[in-house]
């Protein structure tokens, strides 16, 4: 039974309730004696009921926040981080990528807002890269214009959107409604048709790499700044330079997005960070990210970068809340430190927590802002000869 299914959640709730009823009605009267076996039995009953209740609550919290997508994700087993490098050529103007490939697993209709905005398509894919040797699942949102005949030779700008850690990319669809927000914004002429690449920053589960090339570890930064843009630009009709690529993230994804934009302006020209922080934490989930290298640690500290290194030529949007967000003061300090050619904007709510509710309020402003910073590629996409039917 899958970790995130409603059936498992209901089953655990029923077990917790049944355990409590059985304990009070049947077990507890039989353990009322003042003997050591009875006392130990009562302690075990209490611990058992507490465990069942904890598991029921943990499943509900995980389903709400999307911390873990499955059992392999929870226990760090399976081979989610490794997949063959495959190029898909399935009717999307797709061809082999230069540094990896994209394998399309499934194509569905994107969610609609029910207000007349065209829905577009949603593809579940696996992105693989040769530069990093990593691969990761993702969702690619193709706006309706992508399939229209008048856009058949048009390249599109692209936005990579990241969840927090450990995250589940489906939350970007079901909780933050990014495809729906994008379709509505395009329909209202608030942003150009833009391809969205929906991912999580956890490419080497269960470790939280903070999107770093960890010394003697996974090259996650290389994956997101080299493999993802090059593989997708080879598989879809997308721009190939940084002016056509933006990156957005929330929480850990916000830190990752801002860091990769600042460290790699050749990959991303615009960034939106929602509830992002400015320095990578070091804890049990991250392990030693820097290998004792103080220089590397400083270079991944965004406040250190903005005050000690030349600012990159990128546009950034940072979002926080005056009440409810721990990064509010740090965000103001960061904004004060920004210097040209870097350009910064802010989205500050009066109140809002570190949660999907807050980010869902910010996305309808952040996503169009980010798309407006990107340049629609001027060069036409090359014609692709369809593969003969197998």
Q: Is the pLDDT of residue 10 over 50?
A: yes
Distances (CA, A) of 390 to 86, 96, 386, 387: 17, 18, 12, 9
Tokens at 92, concatenated: 């999307």
255-270 pLDDT, tens per residue? 999 999 999 999 999 9
What is the pLDDT, as a whole number, of residue 42? 83
Q: Are the CB atoms for 210 and 255 separated by under 8 Å?
A: yes
Tokens at 252, concatenated: 């850990």
What is the pLDDT, as a whole number, of residue 383? 54
Q: Is the pLDDT of residue 389 over 90?
A: no
Whole-model pTM? 0.78
Average pLDDT over residues 330-337: 96
Q: What is the share, in percent, of the chain residues with pLDDT greater than 70?
A: 85
**DSSP string of 68-131?**
-SSHHHHHT-SSTT--------SSSS----SSEEEEEEEEEEPP--SSS----EEEEEEEEETT
Distance (Å, rounded) from C-alpha 172 to C-alpha 360? 9
163-186 pLDDT, tens per residue? 999 889 999 999 999 999 999 999
Average pLDDT over residues 111-124: 81
């Amino acid at each position: 039974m899958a970790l995130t299914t409603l059936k498992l959640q209901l089953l655990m709730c029923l077990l917790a309730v049944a355990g409590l009823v059985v304990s009070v009605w049947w077990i507890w009267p039989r353990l009322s004696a003042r003997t050591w076996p009875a006392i130990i039995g009562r302690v075990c009953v209490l611990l058992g009921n507490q465990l069942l209740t904890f598991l029921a609550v943990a499943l509900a919290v995980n389903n709400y926040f999307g911390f873990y997508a499955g059992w392999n994700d929870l226990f760090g087993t399976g081979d989610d981080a490794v997949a063959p490098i495959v190029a898909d050529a399935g009717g999307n103007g797709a061809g082999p990528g230069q540094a990896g490939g994209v394998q399309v697993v499934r194509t569905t209709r994107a969610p609609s807002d029910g207000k007349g905005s065209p829905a577009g398509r949603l593809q579940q894919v696996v992105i693989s890269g040769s530069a990093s040797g990593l691969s990761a699942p993702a969702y690619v949102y193709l706006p309706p214009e992508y399939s229209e005949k008048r856009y058949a030779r048009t390249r599109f700008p692209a936005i990579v959107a990241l969840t927090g850690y450990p995250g589940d990319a489906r939350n970007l669809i079901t909780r933050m409604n990014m495809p729906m927000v994008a379709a509505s914004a395009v329909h209202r002429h608030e942003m150009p048709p833009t391809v969205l690449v929906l991912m999580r920053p956890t490419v080497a589960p269960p470790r939280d790499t903070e999107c770093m090339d960890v010394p003697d570890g996974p090259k996650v930064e290389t994956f997101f700044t080299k493999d993802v843009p090059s593989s997708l630009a080879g598989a879809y009709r997308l721009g190939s330079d940084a002016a056509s690529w933006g990156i957005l993230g929330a929480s850990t994804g916000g830190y990752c997005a801002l860091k990769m934009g600042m460290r790699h302006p050749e990959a991303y020209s615009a960034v939106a960070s929602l509830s992002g922080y400015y320095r990578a934490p070091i804890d049990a989930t991250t392990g030693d990210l820097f290998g004792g290298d103080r220089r590397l640690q400083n270079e991944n500290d965004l406040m250190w970068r903005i005050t000690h290194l030349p600012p990159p030529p990128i546009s950034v949007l940072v979002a926080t809340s005056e009440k409810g967000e721990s990064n509010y003061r740090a965000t103001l300090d960061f904004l004060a430190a920004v210097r040209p050619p870097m350009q910064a904007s802010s989205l500050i709510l009066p109140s809002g927590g570190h949660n999907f509710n807050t980010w869902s309020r910010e996305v309808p402003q952040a996503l169009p802002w980010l798309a407006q910073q990107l340049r629609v590629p001027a060069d036409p996409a090359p014609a692709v000869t369809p593969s003969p039917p197998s």
